[in-house]
Structure 1
Amino acid sequence: MTRPVETLPKAHLHLHFTGSMRPGTLLELADRHGTRLPATLSSQTMVTLSPDERGWFRFQRLYDAARACVRTADDMRRIVLEAAADDAAEGSRWLELQVDPTSYAVHVGGLTPALEIVLQAARDASALTGTTVAVVVAASRVRHPLDARTLARLAARYAGEGAGAVVGFGLSNDERRGDTAEFAGAFDIARAAGLACVPHSGELLGPAHVDATLQALRPDRLGHGVRSGEDPAVLDRLVRGGVALEVCPTSNVSLGVYPDLARVPLRRLVSAGATVALGADDPLLFGPRLAAQYRSAREDHGFDDAGLAALAKASVSASRAPEAVKRELHAAVDDWLALPAEDGTRALAV
C-alpha cells in the first residue's frame, strides 16, 4: 500500500490566477456577466494542443475568454479563496499564486487596487483554509518591457513575507515572443526588493532559451524549465546555480511538448540533482490539479513514497516561505513518511 498524495504536505509554486478557477465558477461568472464561452471551457478536461504557434494561439484564446469573465473585485476574491481551498484539500500548505494585475485593472480602478484586492483575498484565504497564500506578480512577454518595469516597481512596494505578501516576480506568456534580455531591468528592480525572480522558460523552447534566461534574468526559479534536460551542460549549470524548476507535467502534455506523462523527463531532472517543485499551472484548461502531478510521479515515473516526500520537501525549499515555516513543513513531510502505509489516510495537521 502507498500513502495518499493528498495528505503529503507540500508547497505549490506554479499556479496562475485565472487558470486556477474551478470550471463551475467560470460558468457562473460567464452567466452572470453575459459572456459566451468556447465549448472547450465548459468542463475540466485536459486540452490537447500542438506545441507550435497555432497551438499557443488556441491556448491563449481560451485563456483570454476565461479571463474576460472576471469583472469585479468579488470575482477576484472568489478565485483566490477557491484556489486556496482546493490546494488545502490536496495537501498544499504554502501557495504562491501568480497574477498579472494588468488584466483586471480596468474593472477595479487601476493596477494598485487590482493587486491590493488579490493580496487582501490572499490574507483572508490563508486564515480560512490553513494554506498560506502569497503572491507572485507576473509581467507578460507580449507587452513592452517598460510595462514589466512598472509591474516590478508595484510588486516591490508590497514585498514581504507570509500571507498576502508579494514574494516573487515572473514573466509569462509565449517564450517565442519578445526579447528576454530586454526584461532584465524589471528583474533587477524585483531582485533589489528581495523578490524571487521566477520567469517562464524552457517549455515551448529548449535549453538554448533556458541558457539565455539564466544569463539575462538571473532567476531563482524557472517556470517550467523542463527542457533544460535536453542539454547536460545547461542542466548542470542550473543545478550548480541552485535554480529550481517548477515542473508542470500535465501542462507539458496538454501543450504538446511531450506526447504523454511518462515522457516528461522528471526522473532525469531529479537524478541530475535539480530542485524540482511540481505545479498544476492552469488546471482550468489542463484539468488535473496539484495532487495529480504527484500521482503521475508515482505511476508514470516510479517514485516511491520516499521519492514523493523528497519532491515535496524540494517544493518547500524552493518556496519563499519563512524559514520557520519551511522547517515545520519539512518535519510534517517526515511525519507523513513515518506513517505506516495503511495509516496514510490520516490527514496531517501542520
Structure 2
Amino acid sequence: MPRPLAELPKAHLHLHFTGSMRHETLLELAAEQGVHLPEALVGDWPPKLRATDERGWFRFQRLYDTARSVLRTPDDVYRLVRETAEDEATEGSRWLEIQVDPSGYAARFGGLTPTLELVLDAVDRASQATGVGIALIVAANRTRHSLDAKTLARLAAQYADRGVVGFGLSNDERRGRARDFDGAFRIARRAGLLSVPHGGELSGPVSVGECVDDLAADRVGHGVRAAESPRLLDRLADRQVTCEVCPMSNVGLGVAEHASAVPLRAMFDAGVPIALGADDPLLFGSRLLAQYELAREEFGFSDAELAELARQSIRSSAAPEGVRKELLAGVDAWLAAPDPHDETRVLRARQ
C-alpha cells in the first residue's frame, strides 16, 4: 500500500466552473427542468471526444453549452460550488482556483457584475462549509472580440481584493492569438491579478511563447506542447512559469493519443513547475486525484516527486502566505510519514 494520495495536501489551479459539475447533478437538474441531454452526457458518459479538428471542438463546445444550460437559478450555482468544494476536500485539495467566464451566465443572472457577485458569494459559502480555500479566476474567451476581454478584465480588477485572484483566456487557441488580448491582460496585471492564459493545448509551442512574451503569463493553462521545443522548456524553467498540466483532459481531447504520451515527466525533469489539474471533470470523467494517481502509476513518480508536484501547485497558487506555509508543512508531514511498504516488509519479516 503506497502513501494515500487523497491525504496529500494540494492546490487545484485548473478547473472550469461549469466543467466542475458532478455528473449526477447534471442528470438531476436536467430531469427537473425538462432539458434533453444528448446520449454522450447520459449513457455514453464520459463522452468520446476529439477536439483536434474544428468539428471535434465544436462538438465539445456544444456538450459544454448543454451542461451550462441546466444552471438556471442561484440555488443551482450554490449547489455546484458547494459540491465542487466537497469533492476537492475529499481528494486532498485544500486550495482551489476555479475559472469562470461571467459572460456565459450574464443573461440569466442579471448581467456580468451580478453574475460574478453570485459566484463569489457561492464560493464564500462553500469555503466556509468545507474548509477549502477558494478563489476565482475570471476568464475571457478567445473566440470573442478583444474589447469583450477588456470589459471582463476591468470587472475582474474591481474585485481583485474580494476573491478574484487571476485573469485567464480560454477556448480554442486556433481562433485567437494571445497577443490580440494583451490590452486586457495589462488591465488585469495593473490590478495585481495573476496572468493565467491557456496555451499549448490545441496549438504548438508558439502559442505558449506568446502567452509568456505577450501576456506575461505567471502560469500557462496546459502548456504541454512546450515539450516540442527544448529551448522553450528551458525558458519556462528559467522563468519558473508554471504549466497547469491536465493529463486526462489531454487524452480526452486527442491532444495526446494515450496517457503515456502526455509529456508530464519530460516537463517535470526539465525543471518546469507543474500544477496538475482536472480541467473539466464533467466531460472527462476524472477529478484531481486521478491526475496524481496517473503520475504515480503511468509515469512512475515516486512519493518524493509527488510531494514536489503538490508543493509546486501550492507555490504557484494565489493562496495567502499563511495558507501556503500550512499546506507546505502538510506536504512535508505526508512525506515524512512511515512508508507503508516498509511497515509491510517489517511485519512479514516478523512472521
Q: 1:48·1:254 contact (CA, 8 Å) conserved in 2?
A: yes
For residues 341 and 316 of structure 2, what CA distance do their matches in structure 1 show?
Answer: 29
Distance 2:214 2:151 in 1: 19
**Following superposition of structure 1 onto structure 2, how do residues 114-125 of structure 1 map, counting pairs within 5 Å?**
114-125=115-126
Q: How does 1:179-328 map to 2 (within 5 A)?
A: 179-328=177-326
Q: CA deviation at 1:266?
A: 0.6
C-alpha distance 50-17 of structure 1, shift in aligned 2 (>3 A): closer
Tell me which residue corresponds to 1:78.
79
- Alpha-carbon deviations, 1:85-130, whole Å to 9, x = none? 1011000000001000111111111111100011111111111111
Overall identity of the aligned pairs, in %: 60
Q: TM-score, normalised by structure 2?
A: 0.95
User: For residues 3-31 of structure 1, what are the alpha-carbon distances to aligned partners after superposition, in whole Å with 9 as ceiling and x for unaligned?
Assistant: 11111100000000000000111111112
1:61 aligns to what?
Answer: 62
Q: Closer, same or farther in 2 for the Cα pair 1:293/1:102, shift >3 Å?
A: same
Quote the Cα distance in structure 2 between the aligned partners of 1:325 and 1:181.
34
Q: Is the 8 A contact 2:246 2:279 kept in 1?
A: yes
Counterpart Cα distance in 1 of 2:65 and 2:239: 35
| Cross-structure match for 2:38 | 38
Q: Distance in 2 between matches of 1:152 and 1:50?
A: 28
Q: Which amino acid aligns with 2:209?
A: D
* 2: CA distance, partners of 1:41 / 1:85: 22
Q: Would you say the 8 A contact 1:138–1:170 is kept in 2?
A: yes
Stretches of 4+ moved more than 3 A in 1?
Answer: none
SS at match of 1:84: helix
User: What amino acid is aligned across from residue 125 of structure 2 in structure 1?
Assistant: D
Is 1:141 aligned with 2:139? Answer: no
**1 CA distance for matches of 2:110 and 2:170?**
23
After superposition, the C-alpha distances for 1:168-196 in whole angstroms (9 at most, x for unaligned) are 00000001012321200100010001100
Q: Which residue of the partner structure matches residue 347 of structure 1? A: none
Give the deviation of 1:236 after TM superposition.
1.2
Q: Deviations over 1:305-336 (max 9, x none)?
A: 11100000000000000111111100000111
Aligned to 1:278, what secondary structure does the other structure show? Answer: coil
Backbone CA RMSD of aligned residues: 1.4
Contact 2:41 2:47 in 1 (8 A): no
* C-alpha separation in 1, matches of 2:264 and 2:336: 25
CA distance in 1, matches of 2:110, 2:279: 28
Q: TM-score under structure 1 normalisation?
A: 0.95
Query: What is the match of residue 129 of structure 1?
Result: 130
Tell me, yes or no, if structure 1 residue 158 matches structure 2 residue 151.
no
> For structure 1, which runs of at least 5 residues remain unmatched after alignment?
345-350
Aligned mates of 2:225, 2:327 — CA distance in 1: 29
Is the 1:155–1:166 Cα contact (8 Å) retained in structure 2?
A: yes
Residues 177 and 207 of structure 2 are in contact (CA less than 8 Å); yes or no, is this contact kept in structure 1?
A: no
Worse overlay, 264-273 or 234-243: 234-243
Work out which of the two has the higher radius of gyration on C-alpha atoms and give 1 or 2.
2
Secondary structure of the structure 2 residue equivalent to 1:320? coil
| Distance in 2 between residues matched to 1:267 and 1:336, nearest whole Å | 22
> For 2:142 and 2:160, how far apart are their aligned partners in 1?
22
Alignment: residue pair count: 341
Contact 1:46 1:288 in 2 (8 A): no
Query: Does the aligned pair in 2 maintain the 1:81–1:121 contact within 8 Å?
Result: yes
Partner of 1:92: 93
Distance of 1:303 and 1:287 partners within structure 2:
22
Change over 3 Å in CA distance of 1:313–1:113 after alignment to 2: same
Give CA-to-partner distance per residue, 1:271-311, whole Å, 9 cap, x none. 10000000000000000100000000000000011110000
Residue number in structure 2 paired with 1:339: 337
- Aligned-partner Cα distance in 2 for 1:83–1:265: 28
| 1:160-175 equivalence runs, <5 A | 160=161, 165-175=163-173
